[in-house]
Amino acid sequence: IPANIALSCLRSVPLDAEGGTRQLLGLKTVLQFQSTLEFTKDPPSGWVRPATDLIGGLDTLQHRLNASVYTNEYDFQFDLYRLVNSAYDFHLVYTPDIVNVFSFGFGTALYSLSQDGLSLPEVYYGRKDALASSAANSSGVSPLVKIDDRDVQTALNEFAINNTQFQDLDAGYNAVFYVVPLGSPGYWAGALAPFNAGASIQLTFANGTVIPTPQMAATSKNFTGVVDGKSFFQKFCTGASATHAITKKRQALASPNESPFAPVWTSTKQKGPAHYPKPLVTAPSNAISGFVNLEQPELAVLAVPTFETEHWVEFQNTIRELLATAKDLGKTRLIIDLRGNTGGRVPLGLDFFSQLFPKMYAYNGNNFRAHDLFNRMGKIITEHFAGIDAAEAQRSGASRNASIYTNLNAAVGLNQAGKNFASWEDFYGPNQAHGGSFTNIERWNLSDSAQMTGPFNWNVSNHGGDLVNINKGITVFDPKNILLIHDGFCGSTCADFAELMKAQAGVRSIAFGGRKQTGPMQGVGNVKGASVWPMNFIGTLITEAFSFATPDVANQLDATYGRSLAALEHTLSRAGIKGTSDVQAKVNTRNNIRRNDTSLTPLHFVYEAADCRLFYTAASLSDQSVVWSAAYDAMWGSAACVDGS
């Protein structure tokens, strides 16, 4: 439907001011677990986004409610949504139900393409024009130069700022356009925030052509029974949040066999990703694919668009099989294509690094924000599980206890020296930094399958269980002969992996795309936090911790936090439609801290340009080996990088 009609519908929903007050109170409680509160409020140098005071912003919204500034539910909830997004942290999400009913966009994808990978790119409208924009076929193809009466670059950069959560401006800009590794049309085609107040627009091209373009809204929701704003609220804004299943249902991890470190000579029968060469090996859903038959005889490639997969063993096997085959073929150089990768399962990133460098131990230092509720919960849980190992915890309470055991039990993680913490106090600290309090640095215990995967008994290659020597201690590729390819999307587990590759192994990187300007670009332009917890999982942790407390302590906790925790239930009920609040409401709970950084600055706030930058060309839309060849020539050949990068 036309976007302006959808907005009129949304703004007809009556304001629930009393519910909004409870919603803000619950959100204020759970945001105490957001590890970057002090840093977003007062960012260090190098942070390219504006400062934002999340807690102060909640107070401002409450003042507006009290002053009757809002006349409808949508405007209030959208302001709340924008406040949370202003932290530019993909791990920090709060999407109110009403904001998630419609998406807004223009349907047709945009493309940002350079003639040669070095000259500044132009914007092309639709795939047909994009493919025809190369120098040899550009007759009759004209780039987009204006949206309404504004320069296209100004308009699209503003659109990216308002619609994406990438901490890097170039990454946000890339997200507006079609993303080949993901097969995604980009935010221009569809986003939660309307452009230009939902109005239709005019697209002006360099040849003078002007095309009126309607902005549309789309929904997958069932509107049966919705006849006005009041019935809309009853249908979409009163759903109870789902009880968080700490161990979500997924395929049994032990069912596939672990592949040995041995070459593979028959290519997979599984269809590889679109617009890529035929892979030698690939995991289900092409979460990771390995390539060896390439233009450069010494080159192998692993394309990894995600770490989010249920098929953990197959993911491991794909890496191991590619490495063993590359070794047997005498391959000496490896490209790891991480474009489109916004993260996923933390252990898979650690496993990837451990397979590449089996003689290195991933450092992975991180800390929590220290605050009173966290301190009380952790102390209770650590004492409750004292002397109990993960297997016993699982037997005594199935997967629920096993997950609680691994998340707030000081006995599970390792300190910076690689030793267990002696007590909760030994773990908690706290340490003062940047106006906040933080726990001591914790490291993942790669040999502990309980900390890695809870009750699923999965092991990190070369560290745990029967995988202790699975790669036979063989390092196939020298770090100087490995290259990471980025597009700014890399975040979460991908950022963890990239940090290990750069800081610990010294691997170089190259970034593709970005704004229409020369100069450097960050390869890792997404969240760099170490872990994300759904808000309703935090609610579960609080409830379980309180249940472990003595009656006197439980009464004290209820007196201090009872009202705000009751409000949290309402906060969660307003996140997502009918029970999806684990997806629509979450916080970043751990900061990644680089080794020996005494300032305790989260890596999320550290600007790190890639070693080289290139732009996309039309040829790269249909064949990703074009991207790999361009990166190869720039890093190991005589080709240039974008000026200033």
Contact 475, 357 (CB under 8 A): yes
The predicted structure's pLDDT at residue 596:
93
Q: Strand, coil or helix: what is 539?
A: helix
Six token digits for residue 610: 């890639």
Say yes or no to pLDDT of 390 above 80. Answer: no
Say yes or no to pLDDT of 255 above 90. Answer: no
pLDDT band at residue 394 under the 50/70/90 scheme:
low
**b/e 421-457 (16+ beta carbons within 10 angstroms → b):** beebeebbbbeebbebbbbbbbbbbbbbbbbbbbbbb
pLDDT band at residue 399 under the 50/70/90 scheme:
very low
The CATH-assigned architecture of domain 281-359+477-528+604-636 is Alpha-Beta Complex (3.90)
Convert the pLDDT of each residue in 623-632 to its tens digit: 999 999 999 9
Say yes or no to pLDDT of 242 above 60. Answer: no
Helix (H) or strand (E) holding 626: helix 625-636
CA distance from start to end of the chain: 44
Q: Which of 18-22, 103-107, 615-619 has the lowest mean pLDDT?
A: 103-107
pLDDT band at residue 60 under the 50/70/90 scheme:
very high
**Torsion sign over Cα 327, 332, 337, 343:** positive
C-alpha distances in Å from residue 446, one per residue of 318, 362, 427, 428: 20, 8, 18, 21
Q: What is the mean pLDDT of the chain?
A: 91
The predicted structure's pLDDT at residue 385:
85
The predicted structure's pLDDT at residue 138:
65
The predicted structure's pLDDT at residue 253:
41
Helical ranges in 272-343 per DSSP H: 312-329
pLDDT band at residue 256 under the 50/70/90 scheme:
low
Say yes or no to pLDDT of 42 above 90. Answer: yes
Contact 78, 70 (CB under 8 A): no
The predicted structure's pLDDT at residue 405:
66
- Give the residue among 525, 576, 489, 527 at the shortest CA–CA distance from 94: 576
How far apart are alpha carbons 214 and 405 in whole angstroms? 53
CA-derived radius of gyration, the chain:
25
Query: Rounded mean pLDDT of 181-188?
Result: 94
Listed in order, the ranges of the chain carrying CATH 2.30.42 are 104-218
How far apart are alpha carbons 311 and 304 in whole angstroms? 14
Query: Rounded mean pLDDT of 41-48?
Result: 95
What is the DSSP track for 33-81?
G-TTHHHHHSPPTT--SPP--HHHHHHHHHHHHHTT--SSHHHHHHHHH
Query: Rounded mean pLDDT of 175-189?
Result: 95
How far apart are alpha carbons 330 and 308 in whole angstroms? 31
Contact 605, 43 (CB under 8 A): yes
**b/e 318-357 (16+ beta carbons within 10 angstroms → b):** bbbbbbbbbbebebebbbbbbbbbbbbbbbbbbbbbbbbb
Side-chain half-sphere exposure of 117, counting CA atoms within 13 A: 20
The predicted structure's pLDDT at residue 265:
83
Convert the pLDDT of each residue in 537-567 to its tens digit: 899 889 888 999 999 999 999 999 999 999 9
Query: Rounded mean pLDDT of 368-390?
Result: 89
The predicted structure's pLDDT at residue 259:
87
State the Cα torsion 346-348-350-351 to the nearest 10°. Answer: 160
* Residue 349 amino acid letter: G
Which is more confident, 266 or 101?
Answer: 101
Convert the pLDDT of each residue in 257-278 to its tens digit: 888 889 998 888 788 899 999 9
Q: Which of 59-68, 173-182, 540-549 has the lowest mean pLDDT?
A: 540-549
Listed in order, the ranges of the chain carrying CATH 3.90.226.10 are 281-359+477-528+604-636
How many Cβ atoms sit within 10 Å of the Cβ of residue 372? 11
Q: Which of 121-125, 242-246, 461-465 has the lowest mean pLDDT?
A: 242-246
Contact 505, 356 (CB under 8 A): yes
Residue 202, phi then psi, degrees to nearest 5: -115, 130
Helical ranges in 67-126 per DSSP H: 73-85
Query: Rounded mean pLDDT of 440-448?
Result: 90
The predicted structure's pLDDT at residue 467:
83
Convert the pLDDT of each residue in 213-223 to its tens digit: 999 999 999 99
The predicted structure's pLDDT at residue 402:
57
CATH of domain 104-218: 2.30.42
pLDDT band at residue 391 under the 50/70/90 scheme:
low
Contact 572, 539 (CB under 8 A): yes
The predicted structure's pLDDT at residue 363:
92
Q: Which of 21-25, 121-125, 412-416, 497-501 has the lowest mean pLDDT?
A: 412-416
Report the helix count and the strand count for the chain, using DSSP H and E: 20, 22
How far apart are alpha carbons 592 and 494 in whole angstroms? 12
**b/e 392-405 (16+ beta carbons within 10 angstroms → b):** ebbeeeebbbbbbb
Share of the chain above pLDDT 90, in %: 77
The predicted structure's pLDDT at residue 252:
40
Q: What is the pTM of this model?
A: 0.94
Say yes or no to pLDDT of 311 above 60. Answer: yes
How many Cβ atoms sit within 10 Å of the Cβ of residue 262? 12
**b/e 570-595 (16+ beta carbons within 10 angstroms → b):** bbbbbbbbeebbbebbbbbbbbbbbe
Helix (H) or strand (E) holding 335: strand 333-337
